[in-house]
Amino acid sequence: MSKIGNKKKLLLALWGLILAFVLIELSLNIYSNFYKKQHSPRYESAQIDAKKFNIICLGDSFTYGVGAGFKNSYPAQLEEILKQKNEVRGFKVYNLGVPGQNSSQVLLKLKENLKFFKPDIVIVMIGCNDHYNFEDVKAENIYLLIKSKIFLSQFRILKLLNISIENLKCKFRKNNSQLEGISSSLEVARRHKLNCEYDKTIELLLKLFRSDPNNKIVQLELKDALIRQNKIEESIRNYRYLLNDFPGNNFLRNQLYNSYIHQAGYYLVLKKYNESRMFYKKALDLKIDNKSANLGIQIDELGLHSAVSSQILSDNLDSIVKICKEKRITLMFSGYPHDDSRVMLEIANLNNIPLVDQKSVFDNLLIQAPLEKYFISKDDRHCTKEGYQIIAKNIASIILKSINKLK
C-alpha cells in the first residue's frame, strides 16, 4: 500500500509541476504581448485620415532609419517626395520599421496593422535579420535540430531562466527593494523612450548601468536608446565615460568600437581624412575581435543552413502576399540598397508584385561617388540621409506610375 501511495504522490507532484509550468508560461506570454504593445512605435487612431492615400512601410532598421535617424528615414522622405510630385492627392506614410525585426515578426503584426491603418499600399523591406533573429519563427519546414532549438526558444519561462542565470551574481548582491527599484526605473526609461525623450532615457539608463554594469537588460536598453538618439559623439562620450570606470566590461568595449567605426565613416563622407584615420586608429587600439559581428558564425553556432533561413523568409513573404490579396491591398517589395534577395525576387515574380531593385541603383551610383556618401561605412551599410533619399525616390517613382495608370 505504501508503494502505491508513493506513486500517487509522485504523479500528483509531476502534474503539479506541469500545471505550474503551463500557468507561468501563459502569464509570461500575456505580459509579453502587453509589453510589446506598450513599447512599440505607435500612432493614434485620430491620426489616421481615410481620405488620404495611406502607405505603411514594414521592415527593420533600414526602414526605421538607423544611420540617419527616424526623421530622415526613407518613409519620412517618401512622404515629402510624393507630396511634391502629386499635390492633388494627399499622402501619409507611416514608418513601422523596428530595428532587428525579422520577417516572422512583420507577418505576425500584419493583420493588426492592416486593420488599424487601412492602407492603400503596403511596402515591405525585410529579410536581412532572418539569419540570426528567430523570435516568433514558426517551426515549419525546418530541419529537426533547428526545430527543437526554435521550439525551445519560444518558451518565455526558459528565456526568463536564461536571464536569471545571466544576472545571478548581480542578484545575490542586491536586496528585494533594490531589484524593484531597477525594474521600476527601467519602466520609466522605456516610457521616456516612447516619447522620444532620449536625453532623459539615457540619463536614467546610465545610472542603472553604474549600479549594475553586467545587467543584460540594462545594456540592451542603453544601446537601443543611444542608437535612437542618433548622436554618435554622445554615444562615444558615454561609452568612454563608463569604460573608464569599468575597464573590463566587454559590452562597453564592443559598443565603443562600433561607435568609432561609425564616426570614422562619417568623417570620410566629409572628406576629413585625418579625423577619419584617427577614429579608425582608436577602434583598432581597442583590439576587438569583430568576428562576433559575423552573422555566419552565429548561423553556424545554431547549426542553421542558409537554405533554412531562406525558406523561413519565403514562407513569410508568401503569407504576406496572400493576406494583402485577400484584403485587396496593393503590395510592394523593396530590396536592400546593399544586397538583393533571390527569395524576394522569386516571390515577386510568381505573384506579379512590384519589386524595387535598390541594389542596382546604388551600384551605379557608387561608380562615381564614394561609398560613404550613401552608407555609414564599409562595415555598416545602413544609409546616410542621402542614401535613404535614393531609396525613397526609387519607391516613389513606382507608386506615382501606378497611381497615374488608375486615372
> Per-residue b/e over 349-363, b at no fewer than 16 CB within 10 Å?
eebebbbbebeebbe
**Weakest-pLDDT range from 99-103, 248-252, 298-302:** 298-302
For the ranges 64-68, 152-156, 194-198, 214-218, the lowest mean pLDDT is seen at: 152-156
Distances, alpha carbon 178 to alpha carbons 165, 208, 242, in Å: 18, 11, 21
Q: What pTM, to 2 d.p., does this model score?
A: 0.57
Longest dimension (CA), the chain: 89
Where are the extended beta strands (E) located within 16-163?
53-59, 91-95, 121-125
Cell numbers given for 203: 540619463
| Closest residue by Cα to residue 93 from 75, 116, 118, 67 | 75
Higher pLDDT, 17 or 79: 79
Structure confidence by residue, pLDDT tens digits, 114-170: 999 999 999 999 998 886 666 777 655 454 445 555 565 556 666 566 556 655 544
pLDDT for 305-339, tens place per residue?
466 678 889 999 999 999 999 999 999 999 999 98
* DSSP-derived 3-state class of residue 59: strand
The sheet that has 53-59: what strands, in order across it? Answer: 91-95, 53-59, 121-125, 330-334, 355-356
> Over 70: is that where the pLDDT of 92 sits?
yes
Q: Helices 216-229 and 250-269 meet at what angle, rounded to 10?
A: 10
Identify whether the C-beta of residue 232 lies closer than 8 Å to the C-beta of residue 336. no
What is the structure's pLDDT at 299? 40
If DSSP codes are grouped into helix, strand and coil, which group holds residue 277? helix
**Contact partners, residue 218, CB within 8 Å, separation at least 6:** 182, 186, 205, 208, 209, 212
Q: What is the pLDDT of residue 265?
A: 65
d(C-alpha 312, C-alpha 321), whole Å: 14
Please report which residue ranges of 246-383 form alpha helices under DSSP H.
Answer: 250-269, 273-285, 295-302, 306-326, 342-351, 358-365
pLDDT-based confidence at 107, cuts 50/70/90?
very high
Run of H or E including 109: helix 103-117
Phi-psi region at 390: left, alpha or beta (left = phi > 0; alpha = psi -120 to 50): alpha
| pLDDT tens profile 34-50 | 545 544 455 665 567 77
pLDDT band for position 298 (50/70/90)? Answer: very low
In contact, 317 and 309? CB cutoff 8 Å: no
Cell numbers 529579410 correspond to 127
